[in-house]
């Protein structure tokens, strides 16, 4: 899957007087996209928010982009056809990249079950893309069932439900994997923060 070609030939990139590097110097940390992926109930939203809250308390600029919220606004014109799902992720990838470029550490929480759509988001964000795979077993997710969706899916009320009647392609090389069936929320956040520190994201 590749990025669409711009529709016009008459486009010139306009440089800005304040650039990413200057914003990162001011913020005293780098911008990044922490892309959480995993089954429903695996802990993406919980951790996207918990990581954001911990970073925020420590003076880091953060923003959370989460599933249905985006479909209320930017992507309200999109449904769940294969083309619309790709466009959904492409726009989220572009927005996440803009937030990272603005100097934020953005955490995204989308199941994003297909490797090709995650690669698209990675291509858009480049070197500041960090894939975080929340990987408890399906049994753990189904037992949690925080939205009651697995129950509905098992009853055949939700067609193409990831993990039950639609595939989830496991990431092959996620930067961080977290078995949230083993680690609690605080330990999981520690793991993400340790990665950000090791990779120099928390200093300019
Ligand atoms: N280590 C952990 N990390 C995250 N969540 C955990 C952890 N341990 C237990 N939980 C619980 O698991 C549930 C995860 O639900 P959450 O809404 O975050 O999943 P999700 O991946 O965002 O699902 P969906 O794709 O449906 O939005 C919550 O009830 C949370 O309290
Ligand atoms: Mg969620």
Give the alpha-carbon dihedral of 153, 158, 159, 161, to 10 degrees.
-60
First to last CA, the chain: 33
Owner of token pair 């990779």: 199
Q: Is the CB of 107 under 6 A from ligand 1?
A: no
Q: Whose CA is nearest to atom 24 of ligand 1?
A: 40
Q: Is the CB of 147 under 6 A from ligand 1?
A: yes
d(CA 132, CA 72): 25
Checking if the pLDDT of 204 tops 80, the result is no
d(CA 129, CA 201): 11
- Write down the pTM of the prediction: 0.95
Q: How far is the CA of 63 from the centre of ligand 1 (A)?
A: 18
What ligand has the least distance to the C-alpha of 113?
1
Checking if the pLDDT of 68 tops 90, the result is no
**Token digits for 204?**
């300019």
Q: How far is the CA of 64 from the centre of ligand 2 (A)?
A: 11
- DSSP state, residue 167: -
Residues, beta carbon < 5 Å, ion ligand 2 = 45, 109
* Cα angle 129, 73, 44; round to 5: 40
Mean pLDDT rounded to a whole number for the chain:
94
Q: For ligand 1, what atom is nearest to the CA of residue 110?
A: 25
Give the list of residues 6+ apart from residue 57 with CB closer than 8 angstroms, or none. Answer: none
Q: List, for residues 167-187, the tens digit of each pLDDT value.
A: 999 999 999 999 999 999 999
Task: Give catalytic residues, as residue numbers.
Answer: 112
d(CA 137, CA 151): 16
Q: Whose CA is nearest to atom 5 of ligand 1?
A: 43
How many CB atoms neighbour CB 196 within 10 A?
21
Q: List, for residues 7-49, the tens digit of each pLDDT value.
A: 888 888 888 999 999 999 999 999 999 999 999 999 999 999 9
Q: What are phi and psi of 59, to 5 degrees?
A: 85, 20
Beta bridge partners of 129: 33
CATH number for the region 27-198 comes to 3.40.50.300
Q: How far is the CA of 41 from the centre of ligand 1 (A)?
A: 5
């Amino acid at each position: 899957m590749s990025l669409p070609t711009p529709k016009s030939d008459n486009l010139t990139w306009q440089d800005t007087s304040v650039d990413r590097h200057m914003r990162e110097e001011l913020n005293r940390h780098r911008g990044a996209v922490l892309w959480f992926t995993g089954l429903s109930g695996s802990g993406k939203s919980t951790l996207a928010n918990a990581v954001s809250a911990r970073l925020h308390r420590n003076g880091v600029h953060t923003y959370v982009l989460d599933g249905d919220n985006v479909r209320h606004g930017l992507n309200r014109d999109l449904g769940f056809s294969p083309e619309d799902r790709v466009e959904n992720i492409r726009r989220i990838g572009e927005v996440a990249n803009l937030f990272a470029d603005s100097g934020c550490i953005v955490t995204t929480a989308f199941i994003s079950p297909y490797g090709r759509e995650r690669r698209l988001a990675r291509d858009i964000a480049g070197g500041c893309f960090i894939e975080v795979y929340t990987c408890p077993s399906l049994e753990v997710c189904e037992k949690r069932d925080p939205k009651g969706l697995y129950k509905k899916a098992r009853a055949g009320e939700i067609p193409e439900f990831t993990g039950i009647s639609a595939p989830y392609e496991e990431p092959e090389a996620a930067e961080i994997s977290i078995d949230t069936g083993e680690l609690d929320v605080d330990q999981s956040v520690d793991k993400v923060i340790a990665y950000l520190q090791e990779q120099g994201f928390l200093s300019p």
